[in-house]
Each structure stands twice: as structure tokens, then as C-alpha cells.
Amino acid sequence: MRRVFDTQLIGPFAAMVIVALIVALTTDRFLNPGNLSNLSLQVSIVALIAIGSTIVIFAAGIDLSSGSMVALLTMILAQMLKFMDLPLALAIPLILIIGASLGLLLGLITAYGRIPSFITTLAALIAFRGLALTFNNGSPIFSLDPALEPIFYGKLIGIPLPFFYLVFFYGLAAFTMNFTKLGREIYAVGGNPAAAVLTGINVRKVQATTFVIAGFMTAVGAVLMAARLNSGSPNYGQTLELQAIAAAVVGGASLAGGRGNILATLMGAMTIVIVQNGLNLNAAPSSVQNIVLGVIILLAVGIDMWRAEISALMARIFRRTPKAQTASEKKAA
């Protein structure tokens, strides 16, 4: 918790590098600059949404609503731009506020209504998708605003803009989780809510706040999604919530709450996208991609759960006997 770059990052980082190496060995197109640039575009939306999903998970909650919320928000944005003629500079902040407000609503229902977040956000997953269909008779809205696309495809000093969004938001999230009172309280609530109550932490407020963050980050992802295709559609963001949760889990966040590093989620998201990219480049069908994604999630959690057994096995292989301990160590144990 003390260091931003701690040992929790080693595993997810190693996983990402190994996966990248394997993909690079199977196809020479992987390391092509065009592909790498494309990769950062591909990862950006899920990685930004995963910030919110991960912070909710840190507080021992779960957010299943983000994929549907993306669809709903792209439709609202499209409505604003196409039919209400709002300027982009007004529409985007409004979308961010609406996203955060929807998050607040889910957070209030969960924290103060005492409904488990799994249920609250499952209901939202279904309802938001339905709500998205009520706009424009359920049809996608295209060609929103010529100024929208550069938000996603634009470059600064030759680097795609989404790269900077990632740096900014992950930097902010890492700062919040590691250096602020709010971050500490989120970890505390996820670690032991009963103890958090007895130390004077406003547990419900903290829980609700994590959903506000998640709603806001989902809105950021929705703006990028709309910009990417210059359109809004009630079909956008299918299974995006699961990919975001998968990124958190592959990054080592404990679904029980309280443990994990937000930067590891970025690595988790990269790992997943690299695998998908590698399968794409090797012309694997999407069915295979889903199967592989499932296996990766199991492996990521499994390696974490079987850590003791794996290190015992390693010890046996390398015939390492336990060190003789000093008296003080023994006392401490």
C-alpha cells in the first residue's frame, strides 16, 4: 500500500511481457508500429473503464453495469449532438456528469439501500441497455460531429491521444489510491467493513463514492467509444463490463476486496488486449478468442490462489531447506 510500484505489479507485468513475447513469436506483424499504435487505441476504452471497475472491487463491490452504461451514454451523446445541436464542449462534460450521476444512483442503492452491488448493477446492466433502446427508436445514430473523431484518433507529438488519457487517469487513480485519505478508506472498507465502521470511516459514503468514480470512468469510455465510430448505438459495449472486471482480476485485484494495485489493472487490460490482438493477427475466430480469455482469467486467479503450492513445489525442485531462524524471528512467529 505504501509504494505505488510494489511487488504486486511484478506478476501482472511478467504475465504481460510473456504474453507479448509469445504473440511476437507467432507473427511478425505484432511489433509493426502500426499494430502497436492500434493496440493502444484498442486497450484505451476497456482500460479506462477498468479503473472504475477496479476501485469498486477494492471496496469489495462489483460493477456489472459499465457495458450497458456505455451504450446508454453514447445514445444520449448522439441525441445531444445530432438532434439538440449542443456544442461538443458542452455535451461531453454533460455526459461525464450524467455518468457520475448514474454511478451515484447505483452507489446509493447499494450502500444505503443495502442491496448487494452484484444485484444493483446486474439490474442496471439490463435496464440501461433497455433505456438505450428508447432513443431514436432503438436505431444507431451516425455522423455525430466532425470534431468528435479526433478525440479518439488525434495525435500529439506523434503519439495517439488515448495514450495520454491512460497516463492521466491511471496517474490520478494511482495517486488517489496510494496517497489520499479516500484511497486508504476504500482499501479499509474492502478489507474489513465491520472494522471500518468501528474506526469511524463512513463506510456507506465510501462505497457510494466508488460507484461515482466507476460511473465517471464509464462516461469517459463512452465518449471515446462514440468518438471512435462517430456514432451512438444501443449495441455498443457488449461484455465490456466483463472485460473490465477481467482486467482487474488478471491484474491481481482480490474480488473479496481490500487488495490489489490499480496500475496492475492497466497491465491486466494490456495482457487481455495483446492476446486478442495476437489471435486476430493469426486469424483465429472470435469463438477461440473468448475461450482463451476465459482460460486467462482462470489462470490469473489460479496462480494467485496456488501461490503457496507453487512455491513449495519450487522449493522441492531446488531442494531448498528452510533457513534456521533467529530467536527474535521465532518469537515474532
Partner 1 sequence: MPPGGETPPFGPSGENKAMTAPIPLWEFVDVSKAYPGVLANDRVCIKLLAGSIHGLLGENGCGKSTLIKTLSGVQQPDSGQILFNGQPVVISDPQAARQLGIATVFQEFSIVPTLSVGENIFLGNMPRSRFGVIDWKKVHADSAAVLAELEVDIPTEAITGSLSVGEQQLVEIAKAVAMDARMIILDEPTAALGEDEIERLHGLLRKMRDRGVAILYVSHRLDEVERIVDEVTILRNGRVVRASGETKINVSEIVSAMVGEDIAEHYPKERNATQEVVFEARGLATNAGVTDVSFTLHRGEVLGLGGVLGSGRTEIARALFGTDDLTAGEVRLNGRKVKFRAETDAIRAGLALVPENRKFDGLFFNFRASGNITAASLGGLARFGVLDLKAEEKGTRDLIRDLEISSQAEEKTVNFLSGGNQQKIVIARWLFSDAQVLILDEPTQGIDIGAKIAVYKLINKLTRAGKSIILISSDHDELLAMSDRIAIVQHGAIKRTVNAAELSHDDLVRASADPIDHNHRHPEEALA
Where do contacts with partner 1 occur on this chain (CB under 8 A)? 1-2, 179-182, 184-185, 187-188, 190-202, 258-259, 315, 322-325, 327-333
Q: How far is the CB of 179 from partner 1 (least distance, A)?
A: 6
Of 195 and 303, nearer to partner 1 (C-beta) is: 195
Q: How far is the CB of 331 from partner 1 (least distance, A)?
A: 7
Which residue is it, cell 433497455? 130
Which residue is it, cell 467493513? 193
Using left for φ > 0, alpha for ψ between -120 and 50, and beta otherwise, residue 258 falls in left
Of 1 and 127, nearer to partner 1 (C-beta) is: 1
Cell numbers given for 100: 457520475
Of 155 and 320, nearer to partner 1 (C-beta) is: 320
Q: How far is the CB of 1 from partner 1 (least distance, A)?
A: 6
Q: How far is the CB of 3 from partner 1 (least distance, A)?
A: 10
In the DSSP assignment, the letter for residue 320 is P
- Residue 176 contacts by C-beta under 8 Å, 6 or more apart in sequence? 182, 183
Rounded to whole angstroms, the maximal C-alpha distance in the chain is 76
Cell numbers given for 333: 512467529
Q: How far is the CB of 201 from partner 1 (least distance, A)?
A: 7
Of 193 and 215, nearer to partner 1 (C-beta) is: 193
Distance CA 292, CA 20 (A): 15
> Taking a C-beta distance cutoff of 8 angstroms, is the pair 268, 300 a contact?
yes
Of 77 and 188, nearer to partner 1 (C-beta) is: 188
